[in-house]
Amino acid sequence: MAGGLTLGLLAGCSASGRPEAASPTPKASSASPSATASASVSAPSPSVSSGVDACQLLDKATITALMGGTYTKFNQVEKVGLPGCEWSNDGSVLSVTSVPADQWAASMPSTVAMTRIAAKGNQEVLDRLDRTDALFTGAMTADQACAAFSTMIQWQGLAADEWRIVNYAPDLDNPTLVVASGCRGQRYSTVQLAKPVVAKSEDQTKAMFDALDAADAAGRG
């Protein structure tokens, strides 16, 4: 799960914009994900909590709305050291995690290594991974981790005051994956939806942002 949740962030290119406004369309490689929207931090950052059950981060109404119907099963998962939860039905998988940002930062070297394999020689993505490697060279505080996240989304063209982003993958024309991720107040959260066909729209982007905000709030307890 964690590799997929970070793939858009590591391998994507972005156009900045608010979820309620139309975003300009960037040029995107068909071999790498593309992001279409972000939202800036405008509210105070609440405190960090740990040990929250990942399967309680989203409510049933949010899960059902994102998946377009009922889900048949859910599982607690852990990959590259990050606890999360996955819900699935016929052809769709929804995943979520929300952890202290320093825990996310500690997982990044493994995630970068996984993404290098997925990049399959895409030099643009590999160059970005080299830069990411340089950000995560040692132990980080949670504040430092969120600063690194901010740097990563600025590489995708977003402003320095942005704290969250939505990426569509593998390209803007025919996405099958949409990922919302954010880091603020010492906490990193992310929501991923994989479907045979993902509708790239303002409504979809807003729904992902809303789910991300809910996971971020629930993760703080």
Q: pLDDT per residue over 135-191, tens digit each?
A: 999 999 999 999 999 999 999 899 999 999 999 988 888 899 999 999 999 999 999
Cβ atoms of 192 and 207 within 8 Å: the answer is: no
Distance CA 5, CA 78 (A): 12
24 or 204: which leads in pLDDT: 204
Residue 62 has a pLDDT of 96
Residue 122 confidence (pLDDT)? 87
Q: What percent of the chain has pLDDT over 70?
A: 77
pLDDT at residue 20, as a whole number: 35
- Taking the CA atoms of 58, 85, 1 and 82 in sequence, report the sign of the dihedral they define: positive
pLDDT at residue 101 is higher than 60: yes
Please tell me the distance from the alpha carbon of residue 41 to that of residue 16, in angstroms, as a whole number: 14
CA separation for the pair 44, 192 (Å, rounded): 25
Residue 11 binned pLDDT confidence (cut-offs 50, 70, 90)? low
**Cα separations (Å) of 174 from 30, 31, 76, 195?**
9, 12, 29, 11
pLDDT, average across residues 55-81: 89
Looking at residue 98, its pLDDT comes to: 97
Query: What is residue 40's predicted lDDT score, i.e. its pLDDT?
Result: 37
Average pLDDT over residues 190-214: 95
Distance from C-alpha of 100 to C-alpha of 139, rounded to nearest angstrom: 13
How many alpha carbons fall within 13 Å on the CB side of residue 31?
A: 12
Q: What is the pLDDT of residue 35?
A: 44
pLDDT, residue 172, reads 82
pTM for the model stands at 0.82
CA 191 to chain CA centroid, nearest Å: 6
pLDDT above 70 for 41: no
Q: What contacts 66, CB < 8 A, 6 or more positions away?
A: 94, 191, 193, 207, 208, 211
118: helix, coil or strand? Answer: helix
**Is pLDDT larger for residue 209 or for residue 41?**
209
Buried b / exposed e over 160-171, threshold 16 CB at 10 Å, is eebbbbbbbbbb
Q: CA-CA distance, 45 to 150, in Å (whole number)?
A: 15
